[in-house]
Amino acid sequence: SSEVLEAIENVIQGVLQSLAQNKAPVLTVANRTDWRNIEFKDSVGLQMIPQCTTKQIRSDCPQSAKRFALMLKILSMIYKMVQSNTYATKRDIYYSDTLLFGSQSVVDQIINDISCMLKIPRRSLHVLSTTKGFVAGNLSYSEEDGTKVNCTCSATVFTVPSNVQGIKNLTSHAKFILIVEKDATFQRLLDDDFFSKVSPCIMITGRGIPDLNTRLLVRKLWDSFQIPIFTLMDADPHGVEIMCIYKYGSVSMSFEAHHLTVPSIKWLGLLPSDLERLNICKDALIPFTKQDENKLASIQKRPYIACQPLWKKELEIMAASKLKAEIQVLTSLSSDYLSRVYLPNKLQFGGWL
């Protein structure tokens, strides 16, 4: 915490020095969304280059003066929280003055900018995200306050903890981890008692694009158990994008890649080639939208696809057919096909990429 306080004090000192010299104070932040600032490393995923381009948030420019003020406001809130060892969610910060901040996304972006500017992970700034992910299966752990959580003994789901860093005593007999894209599929697998039928496993869903805590938990489970991690996604560009976030990270959070990515993640399904192999009826598939085409084209250009020839092939199949499918399409074969046939066969015969 002394490191965090010192980093904030240095920023404020810079502001005061500028004022003392009759200069307009400026905050310098990295261009987090610029692909030119990102490099791809097999072992880490997408990470920010050390000499990245920056942008200035000036206090004397009408376009950025408000953002400058909001950054100082949030820095002061973080400073107080670190000093008093209290925590707040990004939502708490927004609701502390909704008129001032204007929207939740403004708060989210500023917190990420501050984290990147100070080179300090967001958790160390005492800012927590509201968690939306779920976890179930063969796992137990203790939360920071000592609460014991046992996911193993019931078919209930547990919310991913809001302070993943603080959980300890993780134990599991799981043979693998299954990341499920959507809540509906996750619930279906729970209802079918999948995680105890095939072999003990841990199931996680970020319920769409994963939040930070879900990604941190996946990484923590990988560090703790070093067991295979598979993804079960829709066979569409959006599903592929989500899988890539878990595996290689996102551009906007590339400055934290080392804590968030798990490059060993495998693509289990639903593969575009599965649709042909299983003779899924064409009528059950969904035609691409223009947005799907653009998304797929942008994914195909990304640096990590070049080193995944098998993935590349699957994306080419998808691009050629211009058709996509949700995991639920397997119910056209039989209501429990996913948990009774598809997943057990894939896991037994190595049907992943």
Catalytic residue among 79, 87, 95, 246: 95
The CB-side HSE value for 158 (13 A sphere, CA atoms) comes to 23
SS3 8: helix
Among 237, 240, 296, smallest CA distance to 268 is for 240
Among 48, 40, 49, smallest CA distance to 306 is for 40
Write out the E strands in the chain.
26-30, 38-41, 45-48, 54-58, 88-89, 127-128, 134-137, 140-142, 148-150, 158-159, 168-171, 176-180, 201-205, 229-232, 266-269, 286-287, 323-324
Cβ 236 vs Cβ 324: under 8 Å: yes
The residues near 53 (Cβ < 8 Å, ≥ 6 apart) are: 30, 31, 34, 36, 37
20: tokens are 């003392």
DSSP state of 281: -
45-82 CB burial, b ≥16 within 10 A, e <16: bbbbeeebeeeebbbeeeebeebbebbbbbbebbbebb
Is 95 in the active site?
yes
Cβ 143 vs Cβ 96: under 8 Å: no
9: tokens are 């004090």
Q: How far lies 332's CA from each of 4, 33, 193, 326, 347, in Å? A: 54, 41, 20, 11, 21
What CA–CA distance (Å, rounded) separates 117 from 132? 27
What CA–CA distance (Å, rounded) separates 260 from 215? 6
| Helix (H) or strand (E) run with residue 96 in it | helix 90-96
Q: Which residues are catalytic?
A: 95
